[in-house]
Amino acid sequence: MTDKPAKGPATYFPSIERTYGRPIAEWQAIIRARGDLRHMELVRFLKEVHGMGHGHANALVAHTLATDRGRDAARRAGSGDHAPEPPEAR
């Protein structure tokens, strides 16, 4: 089985790890710890506090938030804890 090539923001990950010396999981933990901030606020935080370039910061934030949204949606769907369908959709 061959690994699929990275797509989207994940294409930046090898460069981010080389440039800033931390694994992606560590960067994601930093982003998740600042859950009070919105996307561009998180990007600004990574740039100002950690000296990260805009493209790298944006890629990390976008990927982390998208992953978390997907995980949350899957968790809600699996638990039956999701919003009911609106009447017009039935």
Dihedral sign computed on CA atoms, order 54, 55, 61, 65? positive
* Distance, CA of 15 to CA of 1 (rounded, Å): 25
Tell me how far the alpha carbon of residue 74 is from its chain's centroid: 16
Q: How many domains does the chain have?
A: 1
47 belongs to a structural domain:
yes
Q: Is the pTM of this model over 0.85?
A: no
Tell me the pLDDT tens digit for each residue of 30-88.
999 998 999 999 999 999 999 999 999 999 999 999 999 887 777 778 765 555 555 56
38 belongs to a structural domain:
yes
* Distance, CA of 27 to CA of 82 (rounded, Å): 30
Residue 42 burial (10 A CB sphere; 0-12, 13-18, 19+):
buried
3 belongs to a structural domain:
no
Q: Which domain holds residue 68?
A: 8-75
